[in-house]
Structure 1
Amino acid sequence: MRSRTASCSCGQLRIEVHGEPLGVGVCHCLACQRRTGSVFAALAAFAAPYEVFGTATEYVRVGDQGGRFNFRFCPVCGSTVFHTEEGGEQSSVAVAVGAFADPSFPPPEDSVYDCRRHSWVQLPPGVTTFAKDPP
């Protein structure tokens, strides 16, 4: 089974995941824009098990539908590397696609909060868009 390692900018915080992504998507919500410092977040979900190396600082954010998301970032360089949703932490993890530093990483399949997408951002053909979170 293929494994991939994502890391922060300084390499102190890493996560190793196994297999292919359960899904790859982008989020244009304002919280993700602020969190990443970019105009969207690109995330890939992976099934457990996964291994975390290094020390992470956590930030918990409550989503629009009440879910609580635990974002883990490096306390040294500040890079967000991954997050889990409370209640589902053992089953999957969402990893920042950029943390893999792999230009051949699979493209997104879904785009959420498309109502907040910057007009100049063009999505790849075939991406399913949702105005907000899918039901």
Structure 2
Amino acid sequence: MESRIASCCCGQLRIEVHGEPRGVGVCHCLACQRRTGSVFAALAGFSAPYKVSGVATEYLRTGDLGAQFLFRFCPVCGTNLFHTEVGHEGSVSVAVGAFGDPQFPAPTVSVYDCRRHPWVQLPPGTTAYDKDPD
């Protein structure tokens, strides 16, 4: 089974995942824009098992629908590397850019499209949701 490794800028925090992503998406909510410093977050979901090496700082955020997400950051360089949803630790969402792979699969889903900057163009065939579909 193919593995992929994503890491923070300084290399102190890393996550190794296995197999193809369960899904790749972008989120345009204001929390993700602030969290990433970009106009959207690009995330890839993977099933467990996954292996984390290094030390992470954690931040718990409650989403609009009440779900809680535990974000992990590198305490050295500040990179937001991955997060899990409380109660669903069998999967992990990893920042796509942290893989450093320009050939990584394109997103197929866009959430909080109501907050998407008008100049951001989605890949053809991307399913867009005005808010979170869950």
* TM interval, short-chain normalised: over 0.9
Amino acid paired to 1:130 = Y
The equivalent residue for 2:109 is 110
The equivalent residue for 2:35 is 35
Q: How do 1:94-105 residues align onto structure 2 when only pairs under 5 Å count? A: 94-105=93-104
Measured in 1, the distance between the counterparts of 2:75 and 2:115 equals 29
Q: How do 1:118-133 residues align onto structure 2 when only pairs under 5 Å count? A: 118-133=117-132
Q: How do 1:6-25 residues align onto structure 2 when only pairs under 5 Å count? A: 6-25=6-25
Aligned-pair distance for 1:49?
0.1
TM-score normalised by structure 2 residue count: 0.99
Aligned-pair distance for 1:94?
0.2
CA-atom RMSD in angstroms: 0.4
SS, match of residue 119 in structure 1: coil
Measured in 2, the distance between the counterparts of 1:130 and 1:65 equals 15
Aligned-pair distance for 1:74?
0.1
The equivalent residue for 1:76 is 76
Aligned-pair distance for 1:70?
0.2
The percent of aligned pairs where both chains have the same amino acid is: 75
TM-score normalised by structure 1 residue count: 0.99
Measured in 1, the distance between the counterparts of 2:24 and 2:55 equals 25
Measured in 1, the distance between the counterparts of 2:111 and 2:77 equals 28
Amino acid paired to 1:106 = P
Once the two structures are superposed, residues 50-86 of structure 1 have per-residue CA deviations (whole angstroms, 9 ceiling, x without a partner) of 0000000000000000000000000000000000000
Amino acid paired to 1:70 = L
Following TM superposition, the consecutive aligned residue runs of length 4 or more in structure 1 with deviations greater than 6 angstroms are none
Q: How do 1:85-96 residues align onto structure 2 when only pairs under 5 Å count? A: 85-89=85-89, 91-96=90-95
Measured in 2, the distance between the counterparts of 1:22 and 1:32 equals 20
Measured in 2, the distance between the counterparts of 1:100 and 1:46 equals 13
SS, match of residue 98 in structure 2: helix
Aligned-pair distance for 1:114?
0.1
Gaps of 5+ in 2: none
Gaps of 5+ in 1: none
